[in-house]
Amino acid sequence: MQLLAEREQELRERYGISFRITGIASRRLGWIADANGLKVEKDVGRPPSAASSQHHENSDVRSWLASARADVLFEATSLNIETGQPAIDHIRAALEHGAHAITANKGPIVHAYRQLRDLAAARGKRFLFESTVMDGVPIFSLFDQLPAIHLQGFHGILNSTTNVILSEMEQGLSFDEALKKAQALGVAETDASHDIDGWDAAVKTAALVNVLMDYPIRLNEIAREGIRELTTGAVRNGRRDGWPFKLVCRAKRVGDRVEASVAPEKVLGTSPMGKISGTSSYIYFETDIFPGLSITEENPGLHATAYGMLADFIRVTRDDSP
Amino acid sequence: MQLLAEREQELRERYGISFRITGIASRRLGWIADANGLKVEKDVGRPPSAASSQHHENSDVRSWLASARADVLFEATSLNIETGQPAIDHIRAALEHGAHAITANKGPIVHAYRQLRDLAAARGKRFLFESTVMDGVPIFSLFDQLPAIHLQGFHGILNSTTNVILSEMEQGLSFDEALKKAQALGVAETDASHDIDGWDAAVKTAALVNVLMDYPIRLNEIAREGIRELTTGAVRNGRRDGWPFKLVCRAKRVGDRVEASVAPEKVLGTSPMGKISGTSSYIYFETDIFPGLSITEENPGLHATAYGMLADFIRVTRDDSP
């Protein structure tokens, strides 16, 4: 919301987009809506001054969307790995209400991609999620621009927390010390088991397989191994020998199936994956036209993920323009 | 045209695109048009069997477009560095006729980008040129998907011929032997001075600056140095010392100007540019949101450039769909 506020003038002048924030829902504020617009302070912490706004005491997303007269929903709840909820319900409600749905939550793509994609198409709305993989780097949009291409597989490094931890362990820190440092840097969350055990990387892999390879893979079909078992000694020796450990995501077509995995691998230190350090990320796509097409995101800025949602917002307004 | 024929079924079934080739113009065939469709053999060498087709003996592109009732022009004349002609005239005629214009020729982007872009916008048609830089990798389209982003600069390796020649010289071949080998591989043209003297790289740099940085740079503003002066000894020593020579394209904003150059540089062998070999290419973009966003195209397939035009074709038909 901060980036949206910062770029308000540019959106208006360069893209002809003007907008009002007519609804906010958060754990702290509850469900607030005012179709005339809420006054949102630049620092999002403060509650909106909304004398006339309606508070929806229950979490009835449908009545909230109606009160807000929402045209676009930004969905940013946190990931529920097992079910993808409540994000799936929020997005479904938005599309049925007649709003575009933009999410930064990978759950809906892993658990309900085809359903939500088809619902969006049926309603003439967009379901976009560019910020879910590699921050806001337009990976999904890139493939919109690669029509009639056949994606055979991919590999890459998509989880920052484990990458930072491995880099720190190469310097001699224990796993626990490295984790604390990643947390201090703001890269790892308080409960980082989600990253460490490879879930985040597996969810991103599933999202890419579901969307870009058009194969509905389930999370439990992805062979998954985290970095918890790696000792500092093994990690240091790997780097010293020129074959550092990286948490690598892989997917490939095998017959009419797609096989995918997430696991620590020793990669050649001078290879593109071997050189991905800190919060950078990398993906290599194998296609029929381009045997190797790779994208590296080095040191993403603070706004990279928010930017993904902003770019999705501009995309949906392009569709709506006359 | 071969790729178009190969993918005809997929275009129809997956994208709902059916097409007829209603005009062909080449040095050998002259200007042929038949609005009912020309019969084009899969191997494009043979002349179309077109009893009813009209031959335009003079090169009047307007009457040819009218006879063909063209909806889309594929422009693939060879580059005229000084003027960008006759491609500019062809594209202007197509847009004025009411057809989309797709070109693989960099000349129009260097010499007439703003004019043709504005003409296309005024006519509600598209002017697309994705195959001009990095074969068909969607570089220009990627930035369509990076709205409201600010490109500060870029660097990369964009010319295959010089890259192949430098790789061969590292193995000990003389410049002339390396050039002959690149020609035998089909990478370099008979007259390769265009590549060797850095013109191709400079033209690509100008195209990227004009389009992506929205700065109308002239070709003679780009400091340009080719690889002709490099000796086999220097090239071998560079690689041996871990700092191989590469022909590097650079551009950066300096105040309200853009400075750009093409020159051989010694780059760190283990850096991304140092690892670009043979016909691979690489570009690194500096943006406000993503400080470093890079794309590598490894060993492009035979159809990579043709694919760029095919993808542009699918893009323009998306615009036309109801």
A287 and A310 fall within a common domain: no
Nearest to A74 by CA among A84, A63, A83, A61: A61
Write down the mean pLDDT value for chain A.
92
When pLDDT is averaged across residues A246-262 and rounded to a whole number, the result is 98
When pLDDT is averaged across residues A197-202 and rounded to a whole number, the result is 97
Residue A48 has pLDDT above 60, yes or no: no
Percentage of chain A exceeding pLDDT 90? 80
B75 and B156 fall within a common domain: no
What pLDDT shows up at residue B176? 95
Residue A50 has pLDDT above 60, yes or no: no
Which residues, 6+ apart, have CB-to-CB distance to B191 below 8 Å? none
Nearest-CB residue to B290 (from A290, A293, A304): A304
How far apart (Å, rounded) are the C-alpha atoms in residues B264 and A226? Answer: 43
Per-residue pLDDT of A95-115, as tens digits, reads 999 999 999 999 999 999 999
Is the CB of A11 inside 8 Å of chain B's CB atoms?
A: yes
When pLDDT is averaged across residues A214-237 and rounded to a whole number, the result is 96
Q: Which of B144, B290, B314 to mutate to test the interface with A (most CBs of A within 10 A)?
A: B290
Which residues, 6+ apart, have CB-to-CB distance to B71 below 8 Å? B99, B100, B320
A153 and A293 fall within a common domain: yes
What pLDDT shows up at residue A200? 96
Per-residue pLDDT of B131-181, as tens digits, reads 999 999 999 999 999 999 999 999 999 999 999 999 999 999 999 999 999
A305 chain-B contacts, CB cut-off 8 A: none
Residue B3 has pLDDT above 90, yes or no: no
Nearest to A137 by CA among A288, A280, A316, A293: A280
A57 and A21 fall within a common domain: yes
Using the CB atoms, write b or e for A50-61: b if 16+ within 10 Å.
beebbebeeeeb
Neighbour-count burial of A106, counting CB atoms closer than 10 A to its CB (0-12 exposed, 13-18 middle, 19+ buried): buried
pLDDT greater at residue B9 or residue A294: A294
Residue A42 has pLDDT above 70, yes or no: no
What pLDDT shows up at residue B42? 47
A13 and A43 fall within a common domain: yes
Q: Which of B6, B126, B293, B319 to mutate to test the interface with A (most CBs of A within 10 A)?
A: B293
B138 and B163 fall within a common domain: no
A274 chain-B contacts, CB cut-off 8 A: none
Neighbour-count burial of B295, counting CB atoms closer than 10 A to its CB (0-12 exposed, 13-18 middle, 19+ buried): buried
Residue A35 has pLDDT above 70, yes or no: yes
Give the other-Cβ count within 10 Å of B42's Cβ.
Answer: 10
When pLDDT is averaged across residues A53-67 and rounded to a whole number, the result is 77
We report the CATH number of the domain holding residue B168 as 3.30.360.10
When pLDDT is averaged across residues A211-233 and rounded to a whole number, the result is 97
Which residues, 6+ apart, have CB-to-CB distance to A151 below 8 Å? A143, A212, A213, A285, A286, A287
Per-residue pLDDT of B12-49, as tens digits, reads 998 999 999 999 999 888 899 999 999 876 444 445 54
What pLDDT shows up at residue B217? 97
User: Measured between CA atoms, how close is A306 to chain B, in angstroms?
Assistant: 10
Q: What is the band of B59 on the pLDDT scale with cuts at 50, 70, 90?
A: low
What pLDDT shows up at residue B319? 72
What pLDDT shows up at residue B231? 96
pLDDT greater at residue B319 or residue B279: B279
Residue A172 has pLDDT above 80, yes or no: yes
- Determine if the peptide bond prior to B86 is cis (ω within 30°): yes
Q: Mean pLDDT highest for which of A201-205, B6-10, B187-191? A: A201-205
B156 and B278 fall within a common domain: yes
Write down the mean pLDDT value for chain B.
92
How far apart (Å, rounded) are the C-alpha atoms in residues A65 and A35? Answer: 10
Whole-model pTM: value is 0.93
Is the CB of B45 inside 8 Å of chain A's CB atoms?
A: no
A83 and A211 fall within a common domain: no
User: Measured between CA atoms, how close is B204 to chain A, in angstroms?
Assistant: 19
When pLDDT is averaged across residues B227-250 and rounded to a whole number, the result is 97
Is the CB of B145 inside 8 Å of chain A's CB atoms?
A: yes
- Determine if the peptide bond prior to B216 is cis (ω within 30°): no
Q: Packing angle between helix A199-212 and helix A107-123, nearest 10 degrees?
A: 30
A263 and A165 fall within a common domain: yes
Which residues, 6+ apart, have CB-to-CB distance to B51 below 8 Å? none
Per-residue pLDDT of A123-166, as tens digits, reads 999 999 999 999 999 999 999 999 999 999 999 999 999 999 99
What pLDDT shows up at residue B36? 93
Per-residue pLDDT of B82-129, as tens digits, reads 999 999 999 999 999 999 999 999 999 999 999 999 999 999 999 999
User: Measured between CA atoms, how close is B30 to chain A, in angstroms?
Assistant: 31
When pLDDT is averaged across residues B227-235 and rounded to a whole number, the result is 96
Nearest-CB residue to A289 (from B15, B146, B301): B301
B170 and B202 fall within a common domain: yes
What pLDDT shows up at residue A43? 41
B130 and B151 fall within a common domain: no
Nearest-CB residue to B10 (from A14, A148, A304): A148
How far apart (Å, rounded) are the C-alpha atoms in residues A222 and A207? Answer: 12
We report the CATH number of the domain holding residue A50 as 3.40.50.720
When pLDDT is averaged across residues B287-292 and rounded to a whole number, the result is 93
What pLDDT shows up at residue B191? 85
Question: Does the distance separating the beta carbons of B145 and A144 come in below 8 Å?
Answer: yes
What pLDDT shows up at residue B43? 42
Nearest to B46 by CA among B34, B31, B28: B28
**What's the domain count of chain A?**
2
Percentage of chain A exceeding pLDDT 70? 93
When pLDDT is averaged across residues A236-258 and rounded to a whole number, the result is 97
A204 and A282 fall within a common domain: yes
Report yes or no: A71 and A45 within 8 Å, Cβ to Cβ.
Answer: no
When pLDDT is averaged across residues B186-192 and rounded to a whole number, the result is 86
Q: What is the band of B6 on the pLDDT scale with cuts at 50, 70, 90?
A: confident
Question: Does the distance separating the beta carbons of B298 and A148 come in below 8 Å?
Answer: no
Report yes or no: A266 and A244 within 8 Å, Cβ to Cβ.
Answer: yes
Domain that holds residue A152: 146-297
Provide the residue type at B163 as one letter.
N
When pLDDT is averaged across residues B175-195 and rounded to a whole number, the result is 91
Nearest-CB residue to A293 (from B10, B11, B137): B137
